Amino acid sequence: MILYEVTLQAEPQLAAAVEQYMREQHIPEIFATGCFRRIRFSHAAANRFRTSYQADGQGDLDRYLREHAAHFRAAFLSRFPEGVTLTRETWVQREIWS
């Protein structure tokens, strides 16, 4: 399993709009691509969010990055050209304890 994680740090006055956009439009549209099995959206503080996209394998993530990422990144930047800092990381699951 591959986790593609995006962390967003929004300026306080943008936090509510960022959360609404992510939950109501951005994430549902990305989920509709079929590239990810599960997407989790979390917050650590009022203006810090993390989206964790779970792909079954590297091929699914590669397909998202190749066919869809540029569009979704541009759409986000057109909505929030300033005031949101993003970091992106890819994690490969090694083991799970239950």
Per-residue pLDDT tens digits for 57-97 = 999 999 999 999 999 999 999 999 999 999 999 999 899 89
- Listed by start position, the domains of the chain span 2-92
Which pLDDT band holds residue 13 (cuts at 50, 70, 90)? very high
Q: Is the model's pTM score more than 0.75?
A: yes
Q: Quick one: CA torsion of 18, 44, 7, 91, rounded to 10 degrees?
A: -140
**Helices and strands counted in the chain (H then E):** 4, 4
Sorted by sequence, the CB contacts under 8 Å of residue 21 that are 6+ apart come out as 76, 79, 80
Which of the four CATH numbers 3.40.50.880, 3.30.70.100, 3.90.1580.10, 3.40.50.970 does domain 2-92 have?
3.30.70.100
- The Cα-based distances of 6 to 23, 52, 97, 98 in angstroms read 14, 7, 24, 25
Q: Could you count the other beta carbons within 10 Å of the beta carbon of residue 72?
A: 15
